[in-house]
Amino acid sequence: MTLIPELTILQPADKEQIDLPRTSEEELAVGKKRLYIESYGCQMNFADSEIVAAVMRNAGFATTATAEDADVIFLNTCAIRDNAEQKVRNRLKHLTGLKRQKPELLVGMLGCMAERLKTKLLEEEKVVDIVAGPDAYRDIPKLVEEAESGQKAVNVFLSREETYADISPIRLNSNGVTAFVSIMRGCDNMCSFCVVPFTRGRERSRDPHSIVREAQDLFDRGYREVTLLGQNVDSYKWVLGARSEERGEESASETPHSSLPAPNTTTFAHLLEMVALIHPDLRVRFSTSHPKDITDDVLHTMARYDNICNYIHLPAQSGNSRVLKLMNRTYDRPWYIGKIDRIREILGEDCGISTDMISGFCTETEDEHQESLSLMDYVHYDYAYMFAYSERPGTLAAKKYADDIPEDVKKRRLNEIIARQLAHSSERNQRHIGQVQRVLIEGPSKRSDDFLCGRNDQNKMVVFPRGNHQKGEYVHVLVTECTSATLRGDVVNE
């Protein structure tokens, strides 16, 4: 699972932001109640908010872009770090004041924080009327009805079946070019620092044909990039006729160049191919990969299709084998390095690679911290998500290990990781100077409407003069300069 950093984000997009659903004249039809959703945390939460919006639309709700105009406010929450939960609690303080002005307003907590705290949320946060876990979103209209009658409404049941495969998400605040497509839910990995298996339940994969239909529909509507989402996409496995708890338990084949699935079986490599075949102009990305599961099959599929982006997020978490064992990552440093070597061998040195790195995990020594830095030196990541370790209640680490690294040591080590990554990001970006990059335009630059921006194949943001170009177009940009986070250049004819 990709986490959300507290201090520094070296990544292609700001993931911890707020969804502001767009409104339309149709949605603001007289008599409709209005829904406002804010999303925090990982990309899965943002995708889930789009499912919630679709469920509520079917129940007769419109969306609104401001909390003040809403009849119902949902916060789709993250529990991966204490800092993420504190942001939500601070937001609830503001909503308490809003509710005093508008007593009929309903406030709901969705997602991982809701699942972790369950009914305790209602005791701790009096402003909350509704609590719904990640597998309870179909039940939300009923929960709203209960809350409207004056009751507190809760559903935190975790399912082994639910994938929301039949629900067509409503794209919230969409740029109309890129979209998330959820391919699986839950996680079976049980990393000792991570709360996700307890808040999102067991791993289950979605019917591949429903995934292809959703991606095809997006392409038909003008979208030109989809990101396939899962806590561990490489363990995706669909077996026709099998029970959901039986799917995904076996690792995908390591056989290179396999293009046909075993009878009635779809692995992640096969799914990637199915989506890539929709159209050459539909870019395909995916997140997140687990080092123990990513296969040569996946890498060879990426190499065969130009529209599967040459970028992999492969979280290491630590560069030391003993710490990795304490984290229950099920691989060691040599295994991880072997995966990096295989990626470079099959996809080339220009393949973009990013990581997660945690500083100050339980009992981590100074020498073990140095091994994380040396791993970064070996790989030269394009960007990274970097954290100081934050103990989460209920995790295996919280039960088994003392959080014994002082906060000042954690922060100092984190700053060293950040400094190392800044240097590597700058170096990796400088490789592109003088190269022509194919860029999918996503919209205006944040700094100036005179410039447009979009991503290249390695998921790096490229900024260039607007000219006569529009979002959704592919253009070729000659890179002339860079920062550690951005490429800049000019459009050329090719």
Residue numbers in the known binding site for [4Fe-4S] cluster are 42, 78, 112, 187, 191, 194
The partner residues of 313 in beta bridges, in order of sequence, read 354
What the block records as the tokens of 153 is 């409404």
Q: For the residues of 31-97, what is the DSSP string, one character each?
A: T-EEEEEEE-SSHHHHHHHHHHHHHHHHTTEEE-S-GGG-SEEEEEE--SSHHHHHHHHHHHHHHHH
Question: What distance in Å separates the CA atoms of residue 113 and residue 68, rounded to the nearest whole number?
Answer: 24
Q: By the 8 A CB rule, do 383 and 11 touch?
A: yes
Hunting for tokens 């699986």 — which residue is that? 184
Give the max Cα distance, the chain. Answer: 65
Q: Which residues are annotated as a binding site?
A: 42, 78, 112, 187, 191, 194
**Bond into 178 cis (ω within 30):** no
The C-alpha atoms of residue 303 and residue 41 are separated, in whole angstroms, by 31
Q: 457 phi and psi, to 5 degrees?
A: -60, -35
DSSP H helical segments within 327-482, as ranges? 333-347, 366-379, 396-400, 407-430
Roughly how many angstroms between the first and final C-alpha of the chain, as a whole number?
A: 39
Other Cβ atoms closer than 10 A to 346: 15
Q: How far apart are CA 49 and CA 155, in angstroms?
A: 16
With CA atoms as reference, report the closest residue to 77 among 126, 134, 129. 134
461 near 455, Cβ under 8 Å? Answer: yes
Structure tokens at 49: 């908010």
